[in-house]
Chain A
Amino acid sequence: MITKRIIPCLDVKDGRVVKGVNFGGLKDVSSPVALAEFYSQCGADELVFYDITASSDGRKLFTDILVETAKRVFIPLTVGGGINTVADFDRVLKCGADKVSVNSGAIRDPDLVYEAAKLYGDQCVVLSADIKRVDGQFRVFAKGGREDTGMEAISWIRRCVDNGAGEIVVNSIDTDGVKGGFDLEMLEAVCDAVNVPVIASGGAGKIDDFITLFQRLPKVDAGLAASIFHFGEVSIRDLKAEMVSANIPTRSL
């Protein structure tokens, strides 16, 4: 039986993890490589590295980190941030990424998803959508959630799947950072619209939020979070043990 995935997301800037990490037993908590290794040992099913660097020096540091991570961590690795062209796909895939996540780049260039899927396969292209309710409508936002594109989110996601997006990350701006649970209403709307894996993001504050997510919406494939893992508010080991107790299909170590 296919298992539900737990995915920590690491924001990386100039070679370091941005939000800071609060862990016991980790020497260099701001090293993305060390953190990736730690999460992999704790049972993370996949990792997302999000590159928030603007400079080309930072980009080089980022790809160096990818290579180092791929030498030590043997679970799927998704890379996002600054992916605007097929050449960007090529750059990170060569350094050990398995999947590439596009967001603003796909909004700017609607052909990007299609071109990348044709070259690398649908399984390689992850569409990440930042979505917020505006006037009773799910709206796609660009530029890290700062800019309303005016596009309706469900039809945008459907179009990207038709073009070859193999997975969807649904990041609810409405629940992000609130720690009151995932945006079940938004996620259900996406799950009903497409038949590719859906990854829930934004809103998790405790273990129960993941249990509720997978129990209420069996069509959701994975739960993604960042700071609650980094600050030790949710331990991946405990989370997976709870999932097993709740009879949710889970990969145990």
Chain B
Amino acid sequence: MVAIVDYGVGNLFSLEQSLNAIGGRPTVTADPEVLKKADQIILPGVGAFEDAAKKLRSSGLDQVLRELAAAGKPLMGICLGMQMLFEKSYEYGEHEGLGLIPGQVVGMQGVIPADYKIPHIGWNALIFKKASPLFKYIREGDCVYFVHSYYATDCDDAVIATAEYGPELTAAVARGNVMGCQFHPEKSGTVGLAILRAFLEMKEGSVC
């Protein structure tokens, strides 16, 4: 069973349906006991970093996720959920994340060319930086759907894929059993479903 962490951030309907479509039997939950029993955990998220981080902390789920990640449970963050994996975000101030992957989340303003639009929205091609079991069913150059205004930086060791938007922006990261996608696999057609399928094949302790 794959668990989707329900911490009151964003709409989980599409993510749930995409996992159903690949036979994933997802459970949407905020219960630490259910999370412990899950084979994999997905941390979703849409909206503002500060609000999401507060909700994770006030529910105590931040600690639960840190413990489960340390125990080797496959954990994947999506979009804002990926950004939450890092140490810090500078979205409207300075906020602490889960600190599971070294690096920080910053705005695109001043980094991308002035005539590029913010948010980075639409289908963009993946540029592979490292081999990853997450990509076992897809190819470099496959397009995925992005919607974001902030991106992860200072995390070179963990970057497994980027997308070109002026400079190359972090598109996917992995550090052992903890990984994340800046794009939305649940909205990225067959390529996105293939990424989710690869994630559901990961088992506790088997990811390196």
> How many whole Å from B206's CB to the nearest CB in chain A?
27
Partner of A123, one of B14, B18, B115, B119: B119
- Nearest A-chain residue to B125, judged by Cβ: A1
B132 interfacial by beta-carbon distance below 8 Å:
no
* Given A3-B124, A98-B14, A221-B122, A74 and B187 contact (CB-CB distance below 8 Å): yes
Partner of B120, one of A2, A3, A93, A94: A2
- CB–CB A70/B17 < 8 A: yes
Bound-state CA distance A87–B37 (Å) is: 37
- Enumerate A50-75 residues with CB–CB distance to B below 8 Å: 70-72, 74-75
B103 interfacial by beta-carbon distance below 8 Å:
no
- CB–CB A2/B189 < 8 A: no
Tell me if A's interface is mostly helix, strand, loop or mixed.
loop
- CB–CB A251/B123 < 8 A: yes
- Enumerate A117-131 residues with CB–CB distance to B below 8 Å: 121-123
- CB–CB A166/B18 < 8 A: no
A223 interfacial by beta-carbon distance below 8 Å:
no
- CB–CB B21/A75 < 8 A: no
- CB–CB A121/B123 < 8 A: no
Bound-state CA distance A167–B147 (Å) is: 12
- CB–CB A197/B145 < 8 A: no
Task: Tally A residues with Cβ within 8 Å of B.
Answer: 31
- CB–CB A71/B17 < 8 A: yes
- Enumerate B92-150 residues with CB–CB distance to A below 8 Å: 115, 117-125, 143, 145, 147
Partner of A96, one of B13, B119, B189: B13
B6 interfacial by beta-carbon distance below 8 Å:
no
* Given A98-B187, A123-B147, A74 and B192 contact (CB-CB distance below 8 Å): yes
Bound-state CA distance A195–B121 (Å) is: 12
Task: Tally B residues with Cβ within 8 Å of A.
Answer: 31
Chain A residues whose CB sits within 8 angstroms of the CB of B20 once the complex forms: 71
Which of A2, A75, A98: most chain B Cβ within 10 A?
Answer: A2
B76 interfacial by beta-carbon distance below 8 Å:
no
Partner of A45, one of B13, B18, B123: B123
Partner of A1, one of B119, B124, B147: B124
- Nearest B-chain residue to A249, judged by Cβ: B125
A16 interfacial by beta-carbon distance below 8 Å:
no
Chain B, residues 16-32, CB within 8 Å of chain A (1/0): the string is 01101100000000000
Chain A residues whose CB sits within 8 angstroms of the CB of B124 once the complex forms: 1-3
Partner of A2, one of B11, B47, B123: B123
- Enumerate B183-201 residues with CB–CB distance to A below 8 Å: 186-190, 192-193
- CB–CB A94/B193 < 8 A: no
- CB–CB A96/B165 < 8 A: no
Q: Could you list 7 examples of A-B contacts with CB < 8 Å?
A: A70-B14, A71-B17, A74-B17, A74-B188, A75-B187, A76-B187, A96-B13
B interface with A by C-beta (< 8 Å)? 11, 13-14, 17-18, 20-21, 46-47, 115, 117-125, 143, 145, 147, 164-165, 186-190, 192-193
Q: Which 10 A-B pairs have the closest CB atoms?
A: A251-B143, A251-B123, A3-B123, A123-B147, A2-B122, A71-B17, A2-B124, A1-B164, A76-B187, A74-B18
